[in-house]
Structure 1
Amino acid sequence: MTNSPMDQQARVDVERLLQQQAETSPAGRAEEIAALLPKGVMFATQPSRSGEPARVPDEEWTLTSAWPYQGQTASGTAAVYYGAGHSHLTRPMIFADGFNYGPSDLAGLWDHFNEPYSTSQERLFDQLLAAGVDIVLLGFDVRHTHIQANAGVAVSCIRQAIDRRQGDTPLIVGGVSMGGLVTRYALAAMESQGEDHQTETYLSYDSPHNGAWIPLILQQLAYFSDNLTPPEPGRPSQADLIKSPAAQQLLWGWVEKTGYSGPVATASPLRGEFLADLKEVNWFPSRPRKLGVANGTATGTGREVTPGEPVFEWSELGGLVGATVHAQPAYGTRQHVGGMRAVPLWASKTYTTEVPPFDGAPGGTLASYGMIADKLGVEIEDRHRSVCFVPSVSAVALKYDPVDWPVDLYTDLSTMPAGSSDLDDFHCDTENSEHSKVTKTLADWILERIAY
């Protein structure tokens, strides 16, 4: 599959089937609709749990950002685990948490990366500790805030590690998903300010260097649910994650509300500002060896998803309330991707133009459709539950414009010439595995390069 010539700007268009929202509705209708719609923050995921008691860290640090951002100062926590034979921090590897809603769960993050990944019950973090690497898990009090704000927390963590380290072994710094972007920006900003970060290796784990993907129709559905079922005071709404600063900065395509019509690539000013800030600090840090792994394949083999095909149909109250959801079509003009209704309050159809077929692309997957279908109580085929979240071409930081995406999502990365990536070296999984999942292919590659 090849790219369409981008003769038109990637955009979404919403056709209103009701001329205006009704000022009144039948008695009790709003309550009926609210009872049918999903509850809780959409797209937020829960950490995996091993069922074993959480490992107790050897140290815990309370961190405050090295700089304020937009008038606020971010904060976070680090959990430190000493490597074999160490009674003090000696060979630090700072590994930052990724994109999600609310505060980091460092115990859950530990469990996730220390789950057995092979029949021999090998565990990545245990192997790193056994090799004498001290693991510093970096968490954020508000994961969904601006990347630049949490990058300041990462800078404070790097400074703390340097101050507490015995000896002069260089640092390893990186993170999973958004954590890779947070630490990328932190290291580059320190270099631009002339500060020695004493970092020899940077490592990103399925990080969306050029953007991530959540289907546009599902973003609209989150707003749709949010608008019709306002949250209780003090509680987050269904759309709080998708409209958060971090989501606006991470996603290649973003919409601001159910009825939004207009450009989607870098539609949020926050993404444009973040990309400009990255360019101002030289895009990537230059001093460390830059490594990255992708949960997607390198071969250009995607998932079994046909662009534009139906994914699920939700219908309640005799069809008056519901949603139609299709897989993202491949480019074209005014391609139908779904719609939603809550008659007489709302009814609409959604079309996209020149949007690439991200759903089936090679990449780390997220159960985007599955999570929403489950909340709505509708059946969905297994092959549609999880679709691309971080395209392989993004996770390996292939060199291309992150706004226009003049790149084939199905590029065979194994044939790319040297220098095609902003990383010095990268490795992809043998299949399109779950975003951030530890697999033997990825774990072996990481251990060979940073542990032994």
Structure 2
Amino acid sequence: MNIHTLKVTAILSVFLFLCMPTMAQQRGKDESLRKVLDKMFAHIDKNKVPTGLLRDYAEEYEDLDIFTGIVPLTEHNAADYVRFGYLLSTIKSADLIGVVSKDIDVFFRQKKSYDENNSISLSLALYKYSQIKENALKDGLITYKNDQVYTTNKDPYKQGYLFACSSLVENTTESSVVISLPQSNLLTNIHLSKLEINIGNGFQEIGGNKKVKANLQQGRNEIIIKATLDNGQSLLSHMFITKLERKPDGLTRASEYSFLSNPLSDTIVIDGDDYRGISTKAEVTYCLSGDHTTIVKPFIIVEGFDPRLPNKSKGFTHYNNVVAPNSFLEMLRKDFGYDLVYVDWKNSGEYIQANAYTLISVINWINEQKAISNSKEKNTIIGHSMGGLIIRYALKTMEDRNIKHQTQTYISYDAPHLGAYVPLGVLYGYKAIRDWCADKKFLKSVIKTFSGNKFNVDELIQLGNSLAYSSATAQLLVDYVNPEGNLDNREYILWQKELSKLGFPKGDNGHGLNMFAIANGSYKEPIIPDHYLSAGANAGIGSLDILTPLNPFIYGLSLNDITAALVSMIPGKTKVDADIKISPAKKVGDEVTYFRIKIKKKFLWIGPTISHTNFSFDRYYPNIPLYDTYPSSKYDVSGFTGNLDGNLGDKLNVPDILLQREIFVKPKAIPFVPTSSALAIGSGLTHNPELYKAEPQSMASAFGKNYFVNNESQEHSSFLKEKQVKDWILSRLSTLIVGPINAYTNAQYFLTNAIGVTSWSTDNSKIATINSSGILTAKGKGICFVEASNNGIKYSMPIVVGNPRYILKGSYSPGGYLLKAECLDNEFKNSQDLINDAFKFKWGIKYGNSPIEWIENTKPEILFRQTSDNEYCVCFLEVLNSQGERVSIQNMEISSLNIYDIENSTFYIDRSGNLYDGIKNKYDFDYASIYFSRKKNLSKAFDDSSWDAITALSVDPIGKYKEVTINEGSILLKDMFAEDAIEYMKAHSEEGQQYIYTIVLLNYENKSLQYIPIRVIYKSDINK
């Protein structure tokens, strides 16, 4: 899923309170049917039950009444391999004394594989079981008290048969086949006189070394199996094998595109720097243009959230299915000279920042490749979904670190700048079906065994967990449900705070970067379905329902589809009542998740069918914004009904029969990235529904007017497919407005690579006008857009007319002194992100008597580091416009603040190396500690977790430092010293000499909170 979250307020405590699941109810796992049956038959003499198999005691996953061997053969009693597994599961659960369980377990442990070439092996189950007679209770053969069965001295049992057959091969392209029945595949508790099969040309004996040759007709072929018992009775079962048309070589549904035919295509793996101890890797595949021998003109494609299946080398998106088959990208390579570079994450679920650090390494590597060919070309970079956020973070971080990224164009493609939304009903629904699957070990082994080990439920759940519970998911989702099933938006809030503070990249020199955004959503009012997913298995025996095939994972992945696949495991409707609804919320309090799974059990001697609730789960929508109702891009599966090629069943090896179970599963489209989130309109920290429901007019996008919105909401996973989008991007790559961002009368603007006549206008004539020649006239003060139209395509550029007023503000913050240039004029401050590159901020700081240190940037804030304890500084600000004119100059005083009290900061050492505290009491060196605690009566500003001391540095008197551990507000003194420090003090100190160490307390971001001087004084004799 290219993926991969915030609401009403940025105050964490208030937000978490609002997100409490009000009116939620979860009953979870009810008492299992197995426990009910164990209790019901606890008093019967199990050794007196003929055959040792009692149907009344079984958990019936399939209806044994239609697999008796004597009822007519119909569509409904043709066993496929999954149904065959469920029948064995039913018989195993009927085993009172272990007469068949061992054989069935051995059979399941056997390595199952699809037969090769023209060989097909059958599996057959024929069991004789007992069942309590219909008249047993009425005629006194049993008694029934307190929901428990008691036998008498009379025989209450009758016998019946289970007869079924199956094969792992259900489809073949071979016409001539050889059918066998290995002894290891014959499961029975009775002696058989003869086994025969009929595939249209009469019955022929089979079994052991006897095999049957058959010619299959195109389409479905029925295989009838006849078992003759020792008493002469014959039983019949059947199955179907479908003869498919053979495809030409190389045209299999799993085939993929190969690399473009260019000898200079290659893939390398690049590592990123650590982010909080986490590092990630990217596989970088490139394909060069023309006669390039190295990368010259990069067009970089950055993928989004793409978890990899267990034991798979690739995710769902990679070079071969995104770049290679895309004619638009091939045109850019061949006709425009771009070298295509694809960035494929190996750890997309890790923190977004970690992958951004890896992208920085990728960009640096690309720029090194350009330098080999002396290329002066700028980079163009496009990121889909989370990839757009990774680019934003990487480019801006490089700018803040004064690292040249050499990027001219950044395209954000349906990236969730304000967060993505997976419906709460889906998140809760996945939690519910995951819980239901947790104790279904035998059921999961059935499916794994009879799919030839290709469909592993645990691996599917592992994939679902990577979608639902990864670090990146917690950062991206506006509403995140943790593995315990609770709303938990802490990571989202932290991410949005950091992203908001970071802002958007501006270019290597503070300007010159073209930013464009594409939203796969629209602003058309969405049609909200009754349910995102519904499933039922309570219609009784009738025509076979077909499961709607699941979402094709050509470019994307939906948790709703994982949930649907797991729901499809629930056994057939003849023995299970399943009622499952995952729904949108149209108002607070709506039920969004409803799960009821009941196992039906019929006892002939009681009469009515008993339904036992095996699992139930409910969730209701809390008092939070109604994202289900917002225009968004979507994941839509409805267009793929009846087409299994390339879908979930193909990619995840879901057995085809699971796509044709008697549980009827209907997944629908779900919303994903709100359109306004893709355009970065508004804030992820304060929620305004009006900015989401319709295209805002008063609030500008961070991309200005350089964005594309669809008329109808499209698939979130759609990437460079629609002609309109490709034409829009191509026009922006070659054409843009050029002119001063600080506008003035007679400023000249022109459109590069324009063909024919260009018409000019501004969007606010009260601020500025522009004539047909592109010459501007200033009329007022503020921010507006210069707009150009050429050949029916519109272009825009933000400009600032006049100079805003700024005031310098500063505060002591984690890491040092935070200075901000706050804009005073309403005409500018609401759209300040658009015009920051119109101004340069020249910051200065003077520590004590030292000279002023100057730093210049394009961001209206800066953090100067603290250098010592109890520090006093004077700070300066100059604001310059893009013409170099001084707009403002100001200064202010600021001081450090100690927020922690220190209990002991002075120690003594004598000539013997003994340690003493500040009042000269002897101190055990192994336990001597420095204690600190938060001061009382501090302002609420210091309650934030950013002021919590997590770790610390020790700086010795000559400036060497080492990391030390904080343990419950204390630091061991011995951790502060180097190994030979005490010996050095004993040997080289003069009487009364002081050694000043400094402890620097650090927060979780390794920002300094406080400098603590520690004095160690040498006294040859502590008593003098």
1:94 Cα deviation after fit: 1.8
Sort the Cα spacing of 1:17 and 1:175 in 2 relative to 1 into closer, same or farther, 3 A: closer
State the one-letter code of the partner of 2:514.
Answer: R
State the one-letter code of the partner of 1:443.
Answer: K
Are residues 1:136 and 2:341 paired? yes
1:31 Cα deviation after fit: 11
Match for residue 276 of structure 2? 70
1:49 Cα deviation after fit: 8.2
The superposition leaves residues 385-423 of structure 1 with CA deviations (integer Å, 9 ceiling, x where unpaired) of: 22321111111111233453544432135xx35x71112
**1:163-312 correspondence runs (5 A):** 163-165=368-370, 166=373, 167-230=375-438, 232=458, 236=462, 238-257=464-483, 259-260=485-486, 264=487, 267-280=488-501, 282-287=502-507, 288-297=513-522, 300-306=523-529, 312=534
> Which of 131, 144, 159 is equivalent to 2:364?
159
The superposition leaves residues 84-130 of structure 1 with CA deviations (integer Å, 9 ceiling, x where unpaired) of: 443321111222111121265497445335656xxxxxx22112212
> Which of 307, 314, 323 is equivalent to 1:101?
307
**Is the contact between residue 30 and residue 616 of structure 2 (CA under 8 Å) also seen in structure 1?**
no
Match for residue 435 of structure 1? 716
Deviates more, 1:231-240 or 1:205-214: 231-240
* SS of residue paired to 1:388: strand
Match for residue 581 of structure 2? 324
The answer for unaligned runs of 5 or more in structure 2 is 1-6, 10-14, 38-57, 63-84, 87-252, 439-456, 508-512, 538-569, 599-612, 641-647, 650-657, 736-1024
Are residues 1:423 and 2:706 paired? no
Match for residue 621 of structure 2? 352
1:291 Cα deviation after fit: 1.0
**1 CA distance for matches of 2:368 and 2:493?**
35
State the one-letter code of the partner of 2:367.
Answer: I
Sort the Cα spacing of 1:342 and 1:14 in 2 relative to 1 into closer, same or farther, 3 A: farther
Sort the Cα spacing of 1:448 and 1:374 in 2 relative to 1 into closer, same or farther, 3 A: farther
Match for residue 16 of structure 1? 25
**Is the contact between residue 297 and residue 379 of structure 2 (CA under 8 Å) also seen in structure 1?**
yes
**Is the contact between residue 634 and residue 714 of structure 2 (CA under 8 Å) also seen in structure 1?**
yes
1:60 Cα deviation after fit: 2.1
Sort the Cα spacing of 1:30 and 1:184 in 2 relative to 1 into closer, same or farther, 3 A: farther
State the one-letter code of the partner of 1:312.
Answer: S
Sort the Cα spacing of 1:232 and 1:436 in 2 relative to 1 into closer, same or farther, 3 A: closer
**Is the contact between residue 581 and residue 594 of structure 2 (CA under 8 Å) also seen in structure 1?**
yes
Length-normalised TM-score, structure 2:
0.37
State the one-letter code of the partner of 1:268.
Answer: N
**1 CA distance for matches of 2:60 and 2:506?**
56
Match for residue 44 of structure 1? none
> Which of 629, 633, 652 is equivalent to 1:364?
633
Sort the Cα spacing of 1:279 and 1:319 in 2 relative to 1 into closer, same or farther, 3 A: same
Higher helix share: 1
The superposition leaves residues 291-316 of structure 1 with CA deviations (integer Å, 9 ceiling, x where unpaired) of: 1111112xx2133225x667524346
Sort the Cα spacing of 1:354 and 1:341 in 2 relative to 1 into closer, same or farther, 3 A: same
Sort the Cα spacing of 1:219 and 1:104 in 2 relative to 1 into closer, same or farther, 3 A: same
Match for residue 378 of structure 1? 664
**2 CA distance for matches of 1:374 and 1:420?**
47
> Which of 390, 393, 397 is equivalent to 2:673?
390
Match for residue 286 of structure 2? 80
Match for residue 596 of structure 2? 341
Match for residue 112 of structure 1? 322
The answer for unaligned runs of 5 or more in structure 1 is 37-47, 117-122
Deviates more, 1:349-358 or 1:6-15: 6-15
**Is the contact between residue 174 and residue 202 of structure 1 (CA under 8 Å) also seen in structure 2?**
yes
> Which of 260, 266, 270 is equivalent to 1:59?
266
Match for residue 34 of structure 2? 26
Q: What percentage of aligned pairs have identical amino acids?
A: 21
**1 CA distance for matches of 2:359 and 2:532?**
42
**Is the contact between residue 349 and residue 473 of structure 2 (CA under 8 Å) also seen in structure 1?**
yes
Question: How many aligned positions are there?
Answer: 413
1:236 Cα deviation after fit: 1.9
Sort the Cα spacing of 1:272 and 1:378 in 2 relative to 1 into closer, same or farther, 3 A: same
**2 CA distance for matches of 1:50 and 1:447?**
30
The superposition leaves residues 35-70 of structure 1 with CA deviations (integer Å, 9 ceiling, x where unpaired) of: 99xxxxxxxxxxx988543436623221001x2123
Are residues 1:314 and 2:536 paired? yes
**1 CA distance for matches of 2:8 and 2:467?**
32
User: Which protein, 1 or 2, shows the higher relative CO under an 8 Å CA cutoff with sep ≥ 6?
Assistant: 1
**Is the contact between residue 329 and residue 355 of structure 1 (CA under 8 Å) also seen in structure 2?**
no
Sort the Cα spacing of 1:203 and 1:180 in 2 relative to 1 into closer, same or farther, 3 A: same
Sort the Cα spacing of 1:305 and 1:99 in 2 relative to 1 into closer, same or farther, 3 A: same
Length-normalised TM-score, structure 1:
0.79
**2 CA distance for matches of 1:276 and 1:349?**
33
**1 CA distance for matches of 2:505 and 2:60?**
53
**1 CA distance for matches of 2:367 and 2:672?**
34
State the one-letter code of the partner of 1:101.
Answer: P
**Is the contact between residue 212 and residue 252 of structure 1 (CA under 8 Å) also seen in structure 2?**
yes
* SS of residue paired to 1:353: coil
Sort the Cα spacing of 1:434 and 1:107 in 2 relative to 1 into closer, same or farther, 3 A: closer
**Is the contact between residue 676 and residue 695 of structure 2 (CA under 8 Å) also seen in structure 1?**
no
* C-alpha RMSD over aligned residues: 3.8
**1 CA distance for matches of 2:254 and 2:381?**
25
State the one-letter code of the partner of 1:211.
Answer: G
1:320 Cα deviation after fit: 5.2
Higher strand share: 2
Sort the Cα spacing of 1:58 and 1:386 in 2 relative to 1 into closer, same or farther, 3 A: same
Q: Which has the larger radius of gyration?
A: 2
**Is the contact between residue 226 and residue 239 of structure 1 (CA under 8 Å) also seen in structure 2?**
no
> Which of 354, 357, 371 is equivalent to 1:149?
354
Sort the Cα spacing of 1:375 and 1:355 in 2 relative to 1 into closer, same or farther, 3 A: farther
Match for residue 45 of structure 1? none
**1 CA distance for matches of 2:577 and 2:267?**
53
